[in-house]
């Protein structure tokens, strides 16, 4: 039992415990909702939904931003048309112009994110230590009418044509982004023990591999999907009651100490096999789950991703291989990722070795423990060390916490 306790202690470290951070994210979302819905008259909004790891509750403490989906009914008095890329571009430009108004104190960064997202930086409480980064995605709304769940109707409208005629469709970044709401609902139904493993795997990557320059450019959602697929592959192998459905739901999982460690091992095995091109990762729709598709549907979309070296499919959109580098982005070093995953897998034979010096997991654990120490200290305002160009300052935060120094854009 000691090995399970040691590992589960590490799992809990990755969970965000800073309520101030979540409160600031909420303030940023509320502020953007007011601006877009009330100040951009040309845009008629149906709903705004926090998504990404923040919306799915799989964010890693200290390493997440906010994705905010804006589902739009009309722009300039015209209904949104899915295929009208010019309409989408003009709408995003209009919203960007309004957000750049100095009175809103929203910094719009140069360039666009995936699916045309506007990349924003905000300081909701005017504290330079409390930066909130937001990807604002403006998307056509397909959930028309008074329905209990707009996510279900949007999902049905966008996926039924793909699932029924997969050979007639190709990857569509706008469709993928518009299905983030459905992905969020799928993950939300996942048991908390699975989310804990998701957070730890992401922390290992973000705090153990990236800073050391070992592996970069791996999408965060890719690691989440690997854990979901690993959980599904373990159905029936862990103590009763068996794991049912496409993901682990609260009524179907054994509340045992072994679950996180067993799931982490399978996630690392599957990640290494996928990175080596030996296995395609597919989260199948099973049981009573209302989201996703069968493996047969996925295989009928192979004309889109069949030649890709690494295949990890989006759980809602089978045309989307989230392992394929996005335009303008370099490919991860899959060989290095596989090697690191196998090394950590071997380490888990003795979980007390997770803090072994020089390993990626040891670096991640040290970073997460530093957050704990910082939160336990009396909070104070950051000390400005030196002004820099523009609005940038170098400041020290949480001296002695192990978090070091940071450079952020100070509040105007």
| CA distance linking residue 97 with residue 228, whole number of Å | 39
Q: What is the pLDDT of residues 11-47, one digit of tens each?
A: 988 887 777 888 889 999 999 999 999 999 999 999 9
The DSSP 8-state label assigned to residue 209 in this structure reads I
Q: Would you give the distance in Å from CA 330 to the centre of its chain?
A: 19
Q: Mean per-residue pLDDT for 119-136?
A: 86
Cα dist. 90→84, 116, 142, 375, 378 in Å? 10, 11, 19, 44, 48
DSSP calls for 84-138:
-HHHHHHHHHHHHHHHTSGGG-EEEEEEE-GGGPEEEEE-TTS-TT--EEEEEEE
Residue spans per domain, the chain:
14-146, 377-412
- Please check the confidence at residue 363 and state whether its pLDDT lies above 90: yes
The reported pLDDT for the residue numbered 136 is 95
Q: Which of 125-134, 369-378, 379-388 has the lowest mean pLDDT?
A: 379-388
From residue 47, how far is each of 34, 143, 154, 326 by CA, in Å? 12, 10, 12, 27
- The backbone region for 59, taken as left when phi is positive above 0, alpha when psi lies in -120 to 50, beta otherwise, is beta
Lowest mean pLDDT among 129-133, 169-173, 218-222: 129-133
- What fold is seen in the domain 14-146? Beta Polymerase; domain 2 (3.30.460)
Helical ranges in 276-316 per DSSP H = 295-299, 302-305
Is the model's pLDDT at 60 over the cut of 60?
yes
**3 pLDDT exceeds 80?**
no
Question: Among 61-65, 75-79, 91-95, 281-285, whose mean pLDDT is lowest?
Answer: 61-65
- Preceding omega of 241 cis (within 30 degrees of 0): yes
User: How far is the C-alpha of 128 from the C-alpha of 382, rounded, in Å?
Assistant: 8
Query: To which H or E segment does residue 80 belong?
Result: none
Task: Write the CA distances from 167 to 161, 314, 397, integer angstroms.
Answer: 10, 17, 54
Q: What is the pLDDT of residues 242-283, one digit of tens each?
A: 333 334 444 344 446 788 899 999 999 999 999 999 999 999
**Max avg pLDDT among 112-126, 274-288, 370-384:** 274-288
Question: How many beta carbons lie within 10 A of that of residue 288, not counting itself?
Answer: 10
Q: Is residue 329 exposed (0-12), middle (13-18) or buried (19+ Cβ within 10 Å)? A: exposed
């Amino acid at each position: 039992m000691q090995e399970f306790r040691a590992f589960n202690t590490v799992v809990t470290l990755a969970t965000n415990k800073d309520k101030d951070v979540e409160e600031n994210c909420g303030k940023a979302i509320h502020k953007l909702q007011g601006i877009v819905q009330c100040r951009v008259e040309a845009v008629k909004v149906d709903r705004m939904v926090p998504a990404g790891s923040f919306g799915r509750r799989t964010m890693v403490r200290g390493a997440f931003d906010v994705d905010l989906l804006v589902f739009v009914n009309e722009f300039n008095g015209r209904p949104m048309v899915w295929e009208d890329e010019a309409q989408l571009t003009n709408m995003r430009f209009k919203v960007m112009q309004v957000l750049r108004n100095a009175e809103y104190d929203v910094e719009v960064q140069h360039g666009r994110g995936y699916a045309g997202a506007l990349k924003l930086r905000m300081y909701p409480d005017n504290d330079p230590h409390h930066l909130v980064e937001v990807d604002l995605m403006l998307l056509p709304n397909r959930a028309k009418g008074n329905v209990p769940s707009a996510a279900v109707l949007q999902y049905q409208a966008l996926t039924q044509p793909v699932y029924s005629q997969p050979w007639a469709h190709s990857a569509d970044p706008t469709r993928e982004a518009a299905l983030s709401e459905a992905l969020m609902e799928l993950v939300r139904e996942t048991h908390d023990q699975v989310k804990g493993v998701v957070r730890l795997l992401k922390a290992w990557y973000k705090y153990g591999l990236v800073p050391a320059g070992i592996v970069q450019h791996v999408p965060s959602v890719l690691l989440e999907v690997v854990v979901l697929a690993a959980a599904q592959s373990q159905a029936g192998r862990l103590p009763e009651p068996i794991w049912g459905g496409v993901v682990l739901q609260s009524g179907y999982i054994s509340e045992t100490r072994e679950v996180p460690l067993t799931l982490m091992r399978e996630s690392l095995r599957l990640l290494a096999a996928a990175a080596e091109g030996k296995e395609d990762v597919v989260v199948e729709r099973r049981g009573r789950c209302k989201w996703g598709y069968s493996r047969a549907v996925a295989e009928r979309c192979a004309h889109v991703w069949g030649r890709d070296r690494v295949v990890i499919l989006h759980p809602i959109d089978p045309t989307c291989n989230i392992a394929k580098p996005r335009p303008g982005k370099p490919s991860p070093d899959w060989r290095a990722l596989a090697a690191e995953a196998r090394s950590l897998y071997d380490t888990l034979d003795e979980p007390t070795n997770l803090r072994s010096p020089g390993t990626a997991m040891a670096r991640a654990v040290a970073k997460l423990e530093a957050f704990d120490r910082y939160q336990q200290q009396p909070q104070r305002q950051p000390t400005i060390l030196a002004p820099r160009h523009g609005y940038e300052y170098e400041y020290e935060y949480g001296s002695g916490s192990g978090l070091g120094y940071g450079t952020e854009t100070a509040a105007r």
